[in-house]
Amino acid sequence: MATVERKTGGGIGEAVLRKEDRKFVTGEGRYVDDLRLPGMLHAVFVRSPFGHARITGIDTAAAEALPGVHRVLTHATLPAETGVLCASNPPGSDVRQPEQPLLARDEVRYVGEPVAIVIADDRYLARDGADLVHVDYDPLPVVCDAEAALADGAPLVHSEYPDNAAATLFHETDGFAEALAGAARTVELRVVNQRVTPMPMETRGCIGDWQQSTGEVTLHTSTQVAHFVRTFISFVCGTSEAKVRVVTPDVGGGFGAKLNTYREEFAVCSASRVLGVPVKWIEDRSENAVATIHGRDQIQYYTAGVDESGRIVALKLEAFQNNGAYHQLLTPTISHLTVFMVPGCYDIQNISIRMRQAFTNTTPTDAYRGAGRPEATHGIERLMDAIADDLGLDPAEVRRVNFIKPEQFPYSSSTGLVYDSGDYDTTLDEALRLADYAGFAARRAASEANGRYRGIGLSTYVEVCGLAPSAVTAAIGVGAPGWEHSTVRLHPTGKATVITGTSPHGQGHATSWSQIVQTELGVPFEDVEVIHGDTAFQPYGLGTYGSRSLAVGGVALYRSLGKVREKAREIAANLLECSVDDLEWTGSSWQVKGSPDRAKTIQELAGAAWAASSMPEGVEPVLEATTFHDPPNFTFPFGTHVCEVEIDPDTGRVEIVNYTAVDDCGNVINPMIVDGQVHGGIIQGLGQALYEETVYGEDGQMLTPTLVEYLVPSAADVPPMTLARTTTPSPSNPMGVKGIGEAGTIAASAAIVNAAVDALSGLGVRHLEMPMQPARIWNVIQEATS
Amino acid sequence: MIPSTLEYTKATSIDEAIAAVQAGARPLAGGQSLVPMMRLRLAAPGAVVDLGGVAELVGVCEDGDEIAVGAMTTHRAVAADPLIGEHCRLVAQAASGVGSLVIRSRGTIGGSLAHADPHGDLPAAILAAGGSVVARGPGGERRIEIGDLVTSYLTTSLADDEIITQVRLPKGNAQSAYAKFHRRAIDWSIVGVGVAIGADGVRAAATGVADRPTRLAGFEAAVNGGGSIAEAAAAAGEGLDPTSDLDGSAEYKRHLVGVLAQRAYLEAQG
Amino acid sequence: MGQTITVTVNGTAHTAEVDPRTLLVHFLREQLTLTGTHIGCDTSTCGCCTVHLDGEPVLSCSVLAVQADGCAVRTVEGLAEGGELHPIQQAFHENHGLQCGFCTPGMMMTGLGVIEQNPNAADEEIREALEGNLCRCTGYQNIVAAVRSAADQMARS
């Protein structure tokens, strides 16, 4: 793809440099740890060192005697109004919802579960105090693996749930069994999507500020979902939602880790309520590894019935999802996203899926970039290669015979979705061309001459984005909608403020939203300010996750801009003494058709609307509009990623020598930002494929508690990437946009693993688990060659 | 995370430093291992004495058949030093791979040896080079061969009131190389092997295979006995019993020792 | 038990009393309120806290403030002069080398160290030299381009 010229301002489709950048490159960003409130104290949590234990006593006397320590709170000494936390699923759903007290009541169920909070003058003293809190534990048996937890006789995570079953999803199409029985051949594959941890570079942190006189509480927190947090504070802290304000400062990355409502957020509010001063808590990295949600941890058993061409005539998936010890905000929901996307971009009409979710003595899992969809994509894309391998076919051809064809859109999937638009063959063709798929055999021969294995792998993906139509969230048991809010306000001087319910933390919404305003309303890019993440400004915002911001929040903005434009048109007609039908929009003004000298710019109209001295009958002053946009459907970005690897047989290291991605996210607002999202997404998928794994020992101890053991890759550990795009607009929204935040992560892991399996296919290797660390690959080679 | 309370003094001479150590202070060199351990509260010295102000502990010079390297010379300086590069190449190579650029700016050769991490690169490289340290205490100086310095995990034969003042690297290691294997670039070596081809034959030592840097007797015997490099590599893991962990099995690590010994040997040959 | 230290930060000498266990990064952030230097880990792995100490990039989370007594520290706040961005800042902006911005100050300080140590570093060498600075957003491609671009710009001026 030709490099797009970058500019300092512009409209839709242009590579505009970000207006957010200057504060970050000068060190003037304001993250939560950078905030100081008068009289503020500092909190450190005392956490469980055991995977499962009964608490038999807590002695806080020594800690409270330490000079500088103000208070130590435990479950017993939290304010009486304090409630418990649970998932967003409303009561009465099929999901089991264990109560999650803010501080452990009588039992701890994973390493890192908070037991007490120590509040002191500064964080050094709070840490000293935490070391002096003495907790007596009576250890209990642990279980950390989902399949083991669901087996007979497993230790119980919650004694009230005698089978550790958290929830089960089952979906089967009519005629499935007959279709599978009638298949010419069957292909089976077990795939493990290992546990990983989001690890945004900024850990979590928050400051609770409870005004004792008024009962008003302000929480400054590093979150993706300020309004969810506000709603939950009202429940958990026992106060009025109208008294709660949640403010999001700059957020140093989220990836789902901050798409949640956490015990610490409520605990600092409660501590501030007790002490009457603001209380700050900043998570340590080694705390983040156990106290913030993990992702994935799903075991899949696929059975595909196929014909001789490799076409899937029936597909069965039996899966086990490890939910962890409790349900966080969306824990039970993630599996639904996997179930939705099991067929991928393939026309599979007969399907059977059973997803068993288990409680275990581990940190809860929840949304991590891709959230349920990487599990589906990795599985089906590995299965495609297994089918090709078993039948002796080209993996690209097996994909082609199974693709949903362009003329089948809108396409009703066997899992109940309606895919909006797609052209899967085109992205595949383009990716194979860019990656020189045809020339691979020669490159493999050259590598083999050097004593190295070489392989090439594909991942053709489709994802469900733009979360979410509210009717669907209700149907899958989520007690929250999926719409988004926007307000556009023109000031008397013609400058614009956009208030958005999205909550960017690196995605560049201030830039992209300004581009949309410039194109749709003619207010220059630099005259637009974007406000987000503060519940005092927005009626409600659902936040930023699930590649939803543009397809839902951006479209909400687009609709508000249209409302402002139409209102301006009425005012212009009045001022120009003509009918609205006589006016045409020039991109920045309303003018009488064919008469450029008779026109009013949007800035002039904003001033006139504010002055209100010459308004049309029945039109209210001020150019301002608000939209709550509930999307009629999801969006379905897609694409093809191609990875080429070399493997060193002596060490087992997998080295990526070429990575090509062709993505289609519909219409693009800012190609520079889209490329950046794809780059980052791919490297997170690569991290899971090659480096990252969150590991528990059999005793429930966390074996990867710091960035020394949990291997987030650096620049030195990853390759450059080649990106390209095709454009298939979504018909589901007037902007034709889809979403791109998670595509790279969803696609990458399968492309990389498929390449490594291909490299070793000559040895008879048919599957590799992640992460493909050198020792694992070397063992596989040894077994295959011995 | 936050270190525990501590007292801090900064020495300006070796004698001052030794006096502080005698009084119970722990020597603080570059701090790139000790400070993180203090932050995680894996170490909680009540007092530290900063060696960063002792000018005589910094620098590299020739001294007869040896190169004398001040204990507080940083990894970056060791990696870039022309004398070490010429006469003891494997040590410069090992230093250039310690941690990351920001760690090599602060971390020191003496600090690495005193810390004695079982995955450290410098102890193995210096062992292969036949190096030693000069330790000084209230009773004076003594030489400790590297093979006698590290006695177990994070443990040395230094007395409580001794500090390392110099590292002595024998010349004659121009034909040498250090090869390491790790997962990410910044990670500690899973296994690292230094090979030096000297006038008296080949010396080889590995890190990551025991609680201390370890001479590769099987490799040395084979290659010095006229065996092929492939035979020597196959013998390199003999007698080693590394720990199986998340980085790999004992068998894998023994195998890596052979791979890396061969690579280092071939590179040393030039 | 406070100890008095004098540290010159971004050209200004600061004399202050510190608890000896205070990490340099906390001294900069809490006592001098220079919050542009961030903390991303507790194991010297992430590089978010990188500053220049007497001209060399170091991890300010692995240095005690008392160790910096008498030294010169340069932080991200000291890069721009007279409202004009430093070439490394301009290059990160123009190459979209940042998303959430949290790793950016440390990444730029290390990048600047790389350029000073090896002005003609090839992309592969830049990647190697940035091994101690983690970014979870960008996938590094644009960071490498930004460091390359800044090196070129600094060589021209």
> Taking 90 as the threshold, does the pLDDT of residue A91 lie above it?
no
Test B100 with C114 for CB contact under 8 angstroms: no
| CA torsion, ordered A323, A328, A330, A332, to nearest 10 deg | 30
For the stretch A342-377, pLDDT in tens is 999 999 999 999 999 999 999 999 999 999 999 999
> Taking 90 as the threshold, does the pLDDT of residue B114 lie above it?
yes
ipTM of model:
0.98
For the stretch A665-699, pLDDT in tens is 999 999 999 999 999 999 999 999 999 999 999 99
Per cent of chain C over pLDDT 70 is 99
Same domain? C115 vs C135: yes
For the stretch A293-323, pLDDT in tens is 999 999 999 999 999 999 999 999 999 999 9
Q: Report chain A residues whose CB lies below 8 A from the CB of B5.
A: 128
Task: Provide the mean pLDDT of chain B.
Answer: 96
Chain B from 133 to 192: CB within 8 A of any A CB:
181, 183-188
The answer to whether C62 and B36 are in contact (CB under 8 A) is yes
A483-629: CATH topology is: Aldehyde Oxidoreductase; domain 4 (3.30.365)
**Angstrom distance (rounded) from CA A370 to CA A368:** 6
> Chain B: residue nearest A694 by CA?
B246
Same domain? C124 vs C68: no
> What pLDDT sits at residue C57?
97
Chain B from 83 to 102: CB within 8 A of any C CB:
99-102
CB nearest C101 (choices: A250, A681, A714): A250
CA distance A712 to chain B (A): 9
Test C20 with B2 for CB contact under 8 angstroms: no
> Taking 90 as the threshold, does the pLDDT of residue B77 lie above it?
yes
User: How many CB atoms are located within 10 Å of the residue B57 CB?
Assistant: 24
Half-sphere exposure of C96 (CA within 13 A, CB side): 28
Residue A140's φ and ψ, nearest 5 degrees, are: -120, 160
Token couple for A285: 């990295």
Q: Report chain A residues whose CB lies below 8 A from the CB of C141.
A: 679, 720-721
> Taking 50 as the threshold, does the pLDDT of residue C87 lie above it?
yes
Test C98 with A25 for CB contact under 8 angstroms: yes
> What pLDDT sits at residue B1?
80
Q: Report chain A residues whose CB lies below 8 A from the CB of B188.
A: 708
Task: Provide the mean pLDDT of chain A.
Answer: 97
Q: How many domains does chain C have?
A: 2
Q: C17 vs B44, B99, B163, C33, CA distance in Å?
A: 22, 32, 29, 15
Test B246 with A704 for CB contact under 8 angstroms: yes
Q: Kindly state the DSSP code that residue A761 receives in the 8-state scheme.
A: G
A3, A8, A17, A21: best to mutate for the C interface, most C CBs within 10 A: A21
A370-467+633-785: CATH topology is: Aldehyde Oxidoreductase; domain 4 (3.30.365)
> Taking 70 as the threshold, does the pLDDT of residue A3 lie above it?
no
Q: Give the type of residue at A1.
A: M
Return the bridge partners of B178, or none.
B194
H-type helices in A59-166, by residue range? 61-65, 123-132, 146-150
For the stretch A740-764, pLDDT in tens is 999 999 999 999 999 999 999 999 9
Tell whether A251 lies on the interface with C, counting CB pairs under 8 A.
yes
> What pLDDT sits at residue A722?
98
B60-170: CATH topology is: 3.30.465
For chain B, the structural domain boundaries read 7-50, 60-170, 176-269
Token couple for C50: 């990188």
> Taking 90 as the threshold, does the pLDDT of residue A4 lie above it?
no
B176-269: CATH topology is: Enolase-like; domain 1 (3.30.390)
Test B249 with A775 for CB contact under 8 angstroms: yes
> Taking 50 as the threshold, does the pLDDT of residue A1 lie above it?
no
Domain containing residue C125: CATH number:
1.10.150.120
C108, C137, C138: best to mutate for the A interface, most A CBs within 10 A: C137
Return the bridge partners of A85, or none.
A100
For chain A, the structural domain boundaries read 32-140+203-251+258-291, 370-467+633-785, 483-629
**Please, which chains are in contact with C (at least 3 CB pairs closer than 8 A)?**
A, B
CATH 3.40.50.2300 assigned to B7-50: no
Residue B181's φ and ψ, nearest 5 degrees, are: -135, 125
Q: Report chain A residues whose CB lies below 8 A from the CB of B2.
A: 123-124, 127-128
Chain B from 102 to 121: CB within 8 A of any C CB:
102-103, 105-106
Tell whether A424 lies on the interface with B, counting CB pairs under 8 A.
no
> What pLDDT sits at residue C1?
62
Test A650 with B41 for CB contact under 8 angstroms: no
From its phi and psi, is residue A530 left (phi > 0), alpha (psi between -120 and 50) or beta? beta
Test C104 with A707 for CB contact under 8 angstroms: no
Domain containing residue C21: CATH number:
3.10.20.30
Test B184 with A708 for CB contact under 8 angstroms: no
**Angstrom distance (rounded) from CA C32 to CA C49:** 15
CA distance B110 to chain C (A): 17
Same domain? C50 vs C73: yes
The domain of C52 spans 3-78
Chain A from 643 to 662: CB within 8 A of any B CB:
650-652
**Angstrom distance (rounded) from CA B15 to CA B22:** 10
The answer to whether C140 and A718 are in contact (CB under 8 A) is yes
Q: Of the candidates C78, C113, C143, which is a domain's last residue? A: C78
Same domain? C47 vs C109: no
Query: Is A32-140+203-251+258-291's fold the same as A370-467+633-785's?
Result: no
* pLDDT-based confidence at residue A92 (cuts at 50, 70, 90): low
> Taking 60 as the threshold, does the pLDDT of residue A663 lie above it?
yes
CB nearest C67 (choices: B36, B39, B50): B50
CB nearest A713 (choices: B41, B184, B248): B184
> Taking 90 as the threshold, does the pLDDT of residue B241 lie above it?
yes
Test A123 with B181 for CB contact under 8 angstroms: no
Residues 6+ apart with CB under 8 A from B94: B121, B122, B124, B125, B126, B178, B180, B192, B194
A32-140+203-251+258-291: CATH topology is: Aldehyde Oxidoreductase; domain 3 (3.90.1170)
Q: Report chain A residues whose CB lies below 8 A from the CB of B187.
A: 708, 711
Q: Of the candidates C78, C106, C130, which is a domain's last residue? A: C78
Q: A655 vs A454, A658, A689, B183, CA distance in Å?
A: 9, 9, 12, 11
Render A674-718 in DSSP notation, one character per residue. Answer: HHHHHHHHHHHHHIIIII----B-TTS-BS--STTTS----GGGS
CA distance A531 to chain B (A): 34
Q: Of the candidates C52, C78, C104, which is a domain's last residue? A: C78
Test C136 with A721 for CB contact under 8 angstroms: no
> Taking 60 as the threshold, does the pLDDT of residue A2 lie above it?
no
When pLDDT is averaged across residues A197-206 and rounded to a whole number, the result is 98
Q: Report chain B residues whose CB lies below 8 A from the CB of A705.
A: none
- Neighbour-count burial of A575, counting CB atoms closer than 10 A to its CB (0-12 exposed, 13-18 middle, 19+ buried): middle
**Angstrom distance (rounded) from CA A329 to CA A580:** 49
